[in-house]
Every structure is written in C-alpha cells, then in structure tokens.
Amino acid sequence: MSPRSTHRARQVAAVHLLEVTATAVVLVAVGQAIGGHLEGFVLSPGWYWAMGIGGVVAAMAAGVAMGMSGRHARAEEAALHPRVLDVFYRRSLSAPPAPDEGGRVVTLAGDNAERVSEYRQVFYPDMIAALATPVLACLGILIGLDWLTGLVLLAMCPLIPALITGFLKLFRKRSAQSRQERARLSAAYLDAISNLVLIRMLGAGQRVEDDLRQRGEANRATIMRLLAGNQVVIIIVDGLFSLLFIVMSSGMAMTRWRDGHITATSAITIVLLSVLLLEPLHQVAAFFYIGMGGKASQKALGRWFDEAPQAPASHGSTSSTGEGSGAMTLRDVTVGYGDSEILHGVDLVIAGGSRTAIVGRSGAGKSTLLGVMTGTLPPRSGQVVVDGLDAEIAGPGAIRGASASVNQRTWLFAGTIADNLAVANPHATAEQMWDALRRADVADEVASMPRGLDSDVGEQGCLVSGGQAQRISLARAFLSGRKILLLDEPTSHVDMDSERRIIDAISRIGDDTTVVMVTHRRRLLELARDVYRVTDGTLVPLSADEVAREDTERAERQDRA
C-alpha cells in the first residue's frame, strides 16, 4: 500500500470513528431519556439536543464515508492499471511475453485491481474503525458508567480480532482457489477472442465453446463454495457471538444494578452501548467476501510487482560479487522444464563489454541458456550473477532489468512505432528514438512511412515487414540503454537485406555493451571473442578452426535445404 493510499484509508476510518462517536452520543442520550422516565427525573434539554445533533452527524458521516471510500477505491484502481501494464512492458523487454501472460495481465489489471482497491479503501478503513469501536465503547463504559462491566467487556475485546483472523485463515485456501479459477477463465476468454478467426478456420468452435462452458462452471462452483462459507460466517457471528456479547453486557448491567452499584439509567445505557461491541463482527459478516478476495488479489499483485525488472544501474548495494559493468557469471548451473533437465553443470564467465556467440543444433538449449541470463528462467541449482547481481540475492526482477534482448521471433505489440520504442524507455525523446532507429538501420524506412514514428505496426507487427520488425526490436533494445544485449538468432526469419543490416548494426555496437548472441552467421561468429557450443546439456568452447567449420557445415546444410 502506498503512503497516499494509506492516508486515504485513514481519512475514511476517521470519518467512520466520527460516525461511531455520534452514534454513541445518541445511545447515551436515549439511555438518559429512558432512565429519566423510569427513575422519574427531569431530562435536561441538552440531551435532546445531543440526540438530534448526534443523529444528524452520524447519518452525515456514514454518507460521507461511503462516498469517500468509493471515490478512493476508484482512484486506487485507476492508479493500479498503468502500474500493472508498466511491469508487463518492462518484463517483455528482456524476454517475449509467456503464452499465458496476456490472460494474467487482464486478470491483474481488471479483477485483481478492483478487488484490491475495494479491500484497501472500503474493507480496510471499515475494519480499523470497527475494531476501534468496541475498545472505545468499553472505555466509555469503564470510565463513565461502571468500571467492572467496562473491564469485563474490555477483556472480551481481544476475542473479536482473534475470531476475525481465524475466519480469514479458514477460508484463505478457498478464496485463492476462486481467484485462480477466475484467472484461468479470463485467460481462456482472451485466448478464444484473439484466435477467433483461427478457431473458425479449424472448425474448433464447438470444442472451444465447450471448454469455456466447463471453465465457467468451475468458476461458478468455486465462487459458490466461497459464498457458502461466507454465509456460515454470518450465521455463526450473528447467531452465536452477537448473542454472547448482548447476554454478557445485559447480564452484567442488570446484576450490578440489582446489587445497587449503578443506577437504572446507567444499566440501560450499558445495554444500549453494547450494540457498538458488535460493530466489527457485523462488518466482518457483511464484507468478509471483499476481505478474502482482496487479500488473495493483493498477494497476486504483490508477486507481479516483485517480478518487475528494476531500473538498471545504481544497484551496487545488492551486489554480492561486485563484478558489475555488464559481466556475467554462471557457476554449475542446472536448468530444465518440468521433469526434463536441459542444461546441467554449466560454467560460463562473460567479461563486461565482450562479444560471445553460442551455437548448437535446434533444441539443444540455446534459448534456454539465454533465458537463464535474462532472469526469466530460474536455475534449479547453481549461481547466476548478472551485472554484479546475484539472482538468488537480488531477485529475478533485478536480473531482468540488467539486459535487453532481441529474440528469434520479434515481439511488437499493437500500437505505433513510438509506442513500441517507449516500452524500453518511457522518457525517451523523439530524437533519442530516431537515433536508436538509425543505429538499427531502420530509420530511413520509418522516415518514409507517411506517419513516421506514429505509424501503426498493426497487431503483432503485421503492418511492417519481418525484417523491419526485427530491426525495430533491435532499436528498442538499443534505446533501453541496458548494458547487456542478448540476441537469440536475430537474423532468423528475415530477408537477406535485413540480415545484412542487422549484422552491420550489431558489429557497430560499442564495447560499453556486453553482447551474447545465439547465431550461426559467419560474420557474427567472427565478431565474437568466444564461441561456445551447447551440446548434450553442457557448454563446450570452440577453437577458431571449429568455428570456421561450424559456419561452413551450417551453410552447406542450408544450401541443401
């Protein structure tokens, strides 16, 4: 929770407390009026005023609190949306979005953001006020009416938070399940919508429809289970605990009155005030669902923000090895997917500002190795230090922020060229963008487009050629200013002219940037100081002869193909 959002929540809690205080004044005045009637004393007109003013203030405060918390929740939600998207864009700079990432973002920015906002701005302030209310009421009884009753009721107060925490714990798993189910459903919807044409072409409409229906049903079932739990909470709270508190305070008040320790007026006032003790329990019953959903969503958002790549540089404090300046070290790294182990015992030292090439047959694990370097693929064992940051200590977010990558397949999102470049550096000026485009040798083509930087690239870059898209993606990596550039076959899927331009652009990169490239292109291999082959799950350094042969073998294979 940001300081601003905490401040807002506190404001609402303060208004709630004003409402409670005004209600207490009304209850005391009503107690006085009934007591006066029973005991035959004349009520001073001040009590009538107190009753009237207290009632008006309580009603107004309730209205104001409701309006404020609603407004604050909307503002909080609006602030969360760009933050979620910002993390998404920054993540995608080091690696293309994972297949399920779109659905995850939709859920986080939609459902989760809404629930968290409600939780922080509606549930949380309500809860603070509700928990403070019984304590204040007991203190009022203790000081103003009867010390013993006040003390006994005060002693019972800790039961309330204990009970609430207990309920929250009890339903945590069910709530998390419901959240996951919703996330799966929206991912499936998004998938179906974005592949509508393909689904029709393949005649898979019925199957997709059935699948969506099934997921919808699973989602409904988990929500119903959660609501059923909520209902049980309401019954227990209202039926049992309300009764317990009312009986307790009434019993105490009556006994004390009978024994002559307090007046009838005080006894009646105590009974009336004891209604306030039930406030938090009513709140829990009414908002339990928001509270549970909010907590689970808060965790999901927290995880998402933790994974965010951090800004490069100025991170010396988290350095464990102090290598810095774009160096990378992998020590005894093992990595894989599911049950299969792809790489094992990999040792690799890459000096800052150097050029390293990785070769190997298809499926050997070259992209997997780069995944470890970008921080998107956590190793199963071993140490990964990127730009002086130990992945274990600094976290994947920090590692992701150290490098920029250009991948086998370009990742451009629907929007303008400027939008796509701004992902790398939101504060970049047009001049800086043009400079990056020039470095990637695509500036002329962009300049000749009717709208220049504001030209649309279409969905997944369909309005620019594959070679242009790849060079725009290279420009984006340049613009990021990150010290490490990871290129995964940057010249695959592009035409000859684009290939030449990309290779030229890479060869012009200065030695302030560390470059690791998966490639079989001779000119790129020549640029590299070290060349390694990924084979049988390990890395083998290649001699100059082997490198030369590597290239001819590859070229021959391609010619044959």
Binder among 82, 158, 251, 363 for ligand ATP (CB under 6 A): 363
Query: Cβ 372 to ligand ATP, closest distance in Å?
Result: 10
Burial class (CB in 10 A: 0-12, 13-18, 19+), 206: exposed
Q: Which is nearer to Mg ion, 278 or 531 (CB)?
A: 531
**Residue 534 C-beta: closest distance to Mg ion, Å:** 10
Candidates 206, 314, 317, 362: give the one binding ligand ATP (CB under 6 A).
Answer: 362
Residues with Cβ within 8 Å of 241's Cβ and at least 6 positions away in sequence, in order, are 163, 278, 281
Write out 328-353 in H/E/C secondary structure: EEEEEEEEEECCEEEEEEEEEEECCC
Q: What is the distance between the alpha carbons of residues 500 and 510, in angstroms, rounded to a whole number?
A: 18
Q: Which is nearer to ligand ATP, 281 or 342 (by Cβ)? A: 342
The answer to the question of residue 410 lying near Mg ion (CB under 5 A) is no
Could you say whether residue 222 binds Mg ion (CB under 5 A)? no
Determine, following the binding rule CB under 6 A, whether residue 557 of this chain makes contact with ligand ATP. Answer: no
Q: Give the SS3 label for residue 535.
A: strand
- Per-residue DSSP letters for 353-411? T-EEEEE--TTSSHHHHHHHHHTSS--SEEEEEETTEEHHHH-HHHHHTTEEEE-SS--
**How many Å is the Cα radius of gyration of the chain?**
33
What is the CA angle 345-348-353, rounded to 5? 160
Asked if residue 368 binds ligand ATP (CB under 6 A), the reply is yes
| Segment lying near ligand ATP (by CB under 6 A), choices 60-68, 80-88, 346-354, 356-364 | 356-364
Q: Is 376 in the site for ligand ATP (CB under 6 A)?
A: no
Q: Which does 368 bind (CB under 5 to 8 A by kind): Mg ion, ligand ATP, none?
A: ligand ATP
Shorter beta-carbon distance to ligand ATP: residue 274 or 367: 367
| Number of residues that make up the chain | 561
Binding status of residue 378 toward ligand ATP by CB under 6 A: no
Please identify which residue in 24, 105, 364, 421 interacts with ligand ATP, judged by CB under 6 A. Answer: 364
Task: Give the residue, chosen from 366, 471, 483, 521, that forms a contact with ligand ATP under the rule CB under 6 A.
Answer: 366
Task: State yes or no: residue 558 binds ligand ATP (CB under 6 A).
Answer: no
What lies within 8 Å, CB to CB, of 294 at 6+ separation is: 115, 116, 118, 119, 120, 123
Residue selected from 222, 249, 367, 514 as contacting Mg ion according to rule CB under 5 A: 367
Q: How far is the CB of 366 from Mg ion (least distance, A)?
A: 5
Alpha helices in 395-514 (DSSP H): 396-400, 417-422, 430-439, 443-448, 466-479, 496-507
* 461 phi-psi bin (left φ>0, alpha ψ -120 to 50, beta other): left
Three-point CA angle 142, 30, 26, nearest 5°:
75
SS3 515: strand
Q: Which of residues 323-352 bind ligand ATP (CB under 6 A)?
A: 337, 342
- Binding mask 394-433 toward ligand ATP (x if CB under 6 A, else -) reads --------------x-------------------------
Could you tell me the two tokens for 542?
Answer: 């290649």
Site for Mg ion contains 94 (CB under 5 A): no
Per CB under 5 A, 514 contacts Mg ion:
no
- C-beta of 433: minimal distance to Mg ion in Å? 29
Residues that bind Mg ion (CB under 5 A): 367
The residues of the shown chain that bind ligand ATP, judged by CB under 6 A, are 337, 342, 360, 362-368, 408
